[in-house]
Amino acid sequence: MGAGAPPPIGVIKAIRQEEMERAAGILGATIDCFDYGDGPLLLGPERRLEVMDAIRAFVLDVALCHWIDDFLLPDHVEAAQGVLWAARYCSTPASRPRTDTAHPPSTSATRPSPVTKVQPDFFVGIDSTMGCKIAAMKTLVAQLSLPTQYEVLAR
């Protein structure tokens, strides 16, 4: 590896996995990750079916995803399209025969942005859990600016 060369992808994945596990521990949550790559994220038909299977398995009430028109982050758009597709089809038996269906969860896009002019039409108060959220985000070393950004957005 030359000077300034990024670490191998396997090393990066291991670091990110450990960060997510620490964040989940802080939140009292579990994680289940798809290994779909990054930059660009591409969700073809088979991957969308896998996301749908996960939604069916969790029997979600609400699925939170990125804003579908976040032109600054195309991977977020791709993820949002996949989640919205999977959420709508999770109750359709023909979409994946021989698997249990689930009632489609409500979907909501997150992360207001002054740059993309995305403005939410409802808010969920998280004052009592904001400290926990910030502590969890601080485990994501590759995205150290997130805690500050989200504190500003929350205000």
Average pLDDT of every residue of the chain: 83
Domain layout of the chain by residue ranges? 33-113, 125-155
φ, ψ of residue 22 in degrees (nearest 5): -65, -45
pLDDT number for residue 57 = 87
Are 69 and 115 in contact by the 8 Å Cβ rule? The answer is no
How large is the average pLDDT for residues 51-56?
A: 89
pTM: 0.77
Partners of 66 in the β-ladder: 110
- Does the CA dihedral 10-15-19-22 come out positive or negative? positive
Torsion angle defined by CA atoms of residues 16, 67, 106 and 40, in that order, rounded to the nearest 10 degrees: -50
Alpha helices in 106-145 (DSSP H): 130-137
Q: Which residue has the higher pLDDT, 56 or 119?
A: 56
Q: How many CB atoms lie within 10 A of CB 25?
A: 13
pLDDT exceeds cutoff 90 at 25: yes
